[in-house]
Amino acid sequence: MRSRYTAYTLQCEDYLLATWHSSTRPSALGLAEDTQTKWLGLEVKSQQQDVDHAIVEFVARYKVNGRAHRLHETSRFVCEDGRWFYVDGDVD
């Protein structure tokens, strides 16, 4: 989760797509066009994990054009061949 947040802050679209599960991965994210978002912080609220699955609840804070926003999401991850992949999430 933290590495994906960092990838968003650095606009590392290749990393984000590589860590997105193939069953739900978009073809592109368009991060290069997003010059307005300034990421401010990540708070992991809770996590549940077994050998092959994880659920992470987090709040990411950011600003767009000087206005503050929060992304509160519960994300699902799956582990395949020793690598974790983001599957999807529910935004609160």
2-91 CATH fold: Nuclear Transport Factor 2; Chain: A, (3.10.450)
For the cut 90, the answer to whether the pLDDT of residue 13 exceeds it is yes
Q: How far is CA 36 from CA 6, 31, 60, in A?
A: 16, 10, 16
- Identify the pLDDT of residue 91: 96
Mean pLDDT for the stretch of residues 25-31:
94
For the cut 90, the answer to whether the pLDDT of residue 86 exceeds it is yes
pLDDT tens, position by position, 69-84: 999 999 999 999 999 9
Provide the pLDDT confidence category of residue 1 given band limits of 50, 70 and 90. Answer: confident
Cβ atoms of residues 26 and 16 within 8 Å: no
pLDDT tens, position by position, 33-62: 877 899 999 999 999 999 999 999 999 999
Average pLDDT, rounded, for the chain = 95
